[in-house]
Amino acid sequence: MSRILVRGGRILDPTTNRDESGDVLIEGGVIAAVGEGLDARGAEIIDAEGGWIAPGFFDMHTHLREPGQEYKEDIASGGRSAVAGGFTSVACMANTHPVNDDPATTGFILDRGRHESPARIYPIAAATRGLAGETVTEMSALAEAGAVAFSDDGRTIQDGGVMRHVLEYSKLVDGLVIVHAEDCSLVGAGVMNEGPVSTRLGLPGNPSIAEDVLVMRDLMLAELTGARLHVAHVSSGVSVAAIRNAKERGVSVTAEVSPHHLTLTDEAAIGYDTNTKVAPPLRSAADVAACREGLVDGTLDAIATDHAPHALHEKDLDFVEAPPGLLGFETALPVVLDLVRNGEITPLELVRRLSTNPARILNRPGGDLAVGSPADLVIVDPERSWLYDPAKGYSKSRNSPWAGQMMQGRAIATIVGGRLVYHVDKGVLVP
């Protein structure tokens, strides 16, 4: 196994609050030393001058579309796109075809991940069979097969009794239940946030209360059952406040927010660009501000992309018909660096939310730069300007609202298990 010296960067390790310049030496797939002026003999040198050296990002919410919809993405292309964005670990949702609701599918995804993806792949299994919201999956068999959490993401379990059972069963395997919170009866036919912009565009609105009532229901059920709940892609200010309040009461809840819900409002839909259609929808400026505040104060623990590739012909429909979702991996870092540039969050705290917290929530390795830990690292140039063209990216799809825009900040190199898997000048290197 090779020896790599990452030299002369700003070392950011949220687990020790380390924020100082130095080198990281990698040997045998693990971090061998962290400090200044480390011995470079025989090592491949990666220059991190002017950049950050951080634990690799961990995306706990993605859609890799394999098995079944490989025309949108597969585990290989998704994994390549992930490492190009600085992600060394990725958890993928169960809304595949077939749904990941049985141990064989979980095992298949793990196997494909091991052989095809440069990023580590962690399957999230369905919480109910077929994502139908009726029958709880066999969680212990799924956990044994390698599922890291349970979620019907993309759909919401509408029946409170079923959700209660899901939470109760999850406790038997000490599992995490991830909720996509939308009450379908309140969403109705809504395709974007309900408000002045939806009225102006003549599009049916999906009100934020559709999210809020489900978040509140599930917080109460988590409190009742004592199960571990994680709220996916929070987009509403009321939901942020409810989660904050639940945490204060001691409810076992964590939450994530996506780069798009931190930076884009419903006004992004004014040109009817279907790449701005997501579930839950982009909301008001007040909601975006509340999400940013929630991320900064720790109410929202993690940043997760909800990377959701869709083919051109699917997004090339009118706004009502097009499926929701946008690409996340390769734009996440420059998009969320906006909060650092604005002085809202420090680089160290941003890395905690991109890396350490999601690894801890899913109870997987990663998220630190301790000697002996797996060498999963990202080197970031926070200033680098570049033009984002999805056609030049690694996803099979192109659905991004940031296409054609100048970005600031980029992953320069990504290392997984001690192997350099991406370098900005060379592209993705393995497999």
Interface with ligand DOR includes 308 (CB under 6 A)? Answer: yes
**352 three-state secondary structure:** helix
User: In whole angstroms, what is the distance from residue 132 CA to residue 339 CA?
Assistant: 38
Please state the φ and ψ torsions of residue 324, each to the nearest 5 degrees.
Answer: -80, 145
Interface with ligand DOR includes 281 (CB under 6 A)? Answer: no
Interface with ligand DOR includes 131 (CB under 6 A)? Answer: no
Strands 44-47 and 3-13: parallel
User: In whole angstroms, what is the distance from residue 415 CA to residue 376 CA?
Assistant: 5
Pair 135, 128: CB distance under 8 Å: yes
Interface with ligand DOR includes 133 (CB under 6 A)? Answer: no
Q: How many CB atoms are closer than 10 A to CB 272?
A: 13
- From first CA to last CA, the distance across the chain in angstroms is 16
Transcribe 174-226 into DSSP letters.
Answer: T-EEEE----HHHHTT--EESSHHHHHHT--EE-HHHHHHHHHHHHHHHHHH-
Q: Which of 346, 360, 303 minimizes the C-alpha distance to 18?
A: 346
Interface with ligand DOR includes 120 (CB under 6 A)? Answer: no
For residue 9, the cross-strand partners are: 22
CA 81-306-116 angle, to 5 degrees, is 35
Clarify whether 338 is annotated catalytic: no
Of all residues in the shown chain, the one whose CB is closest to ligand DOR is: 325
Interface with ligand DOR includes 126 (CB under 6 A)? Answer: no
Instruction: Give the nearest distance from C-beta 401 to ligand DOR in angstroms.
Output: 12
Residue numbers 66-105 binding ligand DOR by CB under 6 A? 95
Residue numbers 53-72 binding ligand DOR by CB under 6 A? 63
Instruction: Give the nearest distance from C-beta 169 to ligand DOR in angstroms.
Output: 22
Interface with ligand DOR includes 194 (CB under 6 A)? Answer: no
Site stretch for ligand DOR (CB under 6 A), options 138-146, 223-231, 318-326, 373-381: 318-326
Interface with ligand DOR includes 154 (CB under 6 A)? Answer: yes
Pair 207, 221: CB distance under 8 Å: no
| Mask for 198-237, x = binds ligand DOR (CB under 6 A) | ----------------------------------------
Interface with ligand DOR includes 153 (CB under 6 A)? Answer: yes
Q: Compute how many residues bind ligand DOR; rule: CB under 6 A.
A: 12
Instruction: Give the nearest distance from C-beta 308 to ligand DOR in angstroms.
Output: 4
> Which tokens belong to 296?
């900064």
| Mask for 261-280, x = binds ligand DOR (CB under 6 A) | -----------------xx-
Site stretch for ligand DOR (CB under 6 A), options 8-16, 190-198, 321-329, 382-390: 321-329
Residues 6+ apart with CB under 8 A from 330: 81, 84, 85, 388, 390, 393, 394, 395
Nearer to ligand DOR, 233 or 244 (CB): 233
Instruction: Give the nearest distance from C-beta 378 to ligand DOR in angstroms.
Output: 25
Catalytic residue, candidates 306, 368, 376, 381: 306
Interface with ligand DOR includes 14 (CB under 6 A)? Answer: no
Nearer to ligand DOR, 11 or 187 (CB): 187
User: In whole angstroms, what is the distance from residue 197 CA to residue 199 CA?
Assistant: 5
Strands 120-123 and 87-92: parallel
Nearer to ligand DOR, 54 or 147 (CB): 147
Interface with ligand DOR includes 123 (CB under 6 A)? Answer: no
Residues labelled catalytic: 306
Interface contacts to ligand DOR, rule CB under 6 A? 63, 95, 153-154, 180, 278-279, 306, 308, 323-325
